[in-house]
Amino acid sequence: MKEVKSQSFVRWFDRQFDSNTGSEYFDEFLQRLDHFPAVLNKLLKSCPIEVSTRKMGDKWSVNENIGHLILLEDLWRIRFRDIKEGKPDISPADLKNTATDQSSFNNMLFEELIKNLVSERDKTIVMLQKLSEEDLLKTSMHPRLQQPMNIIDLMHFVAEHDLHHLHAIQSIIGSMETI
């Protein structure tokens, strides 16, 4: 298993990532990506709607965190294709998260959101499973980090992004239990 330094207390945009991760980590990261929606579903199984939709200040609610993850699945697939196609730069993200902020995820049940996340993540998993060993080692420049990333590096990035939002969701649920 790849040793990952815990950076869960570090703001997402302040995180650093190793690059040039070997293809021997493909299965590990694929499994993390594939199992994440089930982990999220298990955590939220008994979460009341008033908890899943409550915002704490300017922070996203549980539902908005899940919606954000759904919205990013398309970007992840675009970025994986960018690397596979040998593009010099990975497509940039909207660092202001405008789509998440403008969506109405709090008008949905978290079960529906998780179902959508499963559907979108399944498309990503299928795409990754079709990549060749040669594809895994190609690199493109990450626009924000300004470092080259291969497919495995990006898989690690996405898995850590999932974990970042899992911790945010756990924090929201934990803070609601103390109210």
Of 31, 121, 24, residue with least CA distance to 76? 121
User: May I ask the CATH architecture of the domain 24-177?
Assistant: Up-down Bundle (1.20)
Residue 4 has pLDDT above 70, yes or no: no
- Distance from C-alpha of 147 to C-alpha of 4, rounded to nearest angstrom: 18
Q: Where does residue 141 rank: exposed (0-12), middle (13-18), buried (19+ CB within 10 A)?
A: middle
Q: What is the pLDDT of residues 17-48, one digit of tens each?
A: 777 788 999 999 999 999 999 999 999 988 88
The amino acid present at 81, given as its one-letter code, is R
Q: What is the pLDDT of residue 178?
A: 54
Determine the length of the chain: 179
Question: How close are the terminal C-alpha atoms of the chain, in Å?
Answer: 39
3-state secondary structure of 148: strand
- Distance from C-alpha of 61 to C-alpha of 133, rounded to nearest angstrom: 39
Residue 109 has pLDDT above 90, yes or no: yes
- Which residues sit opposite 89 in a β-bridge? 141
Of 33, 21, 51, residue with least CA distance to 127? 33
Helices (H) and strands (E) in the chain, counts: 7, 2
Q: What is the pLDDT of residues 41-92, one digit of tens each?
A: 999 988 888 899 998 888 999 999 999 999 999 999 999 999 999 999 999 9
3-state secondary structure of 22: coil
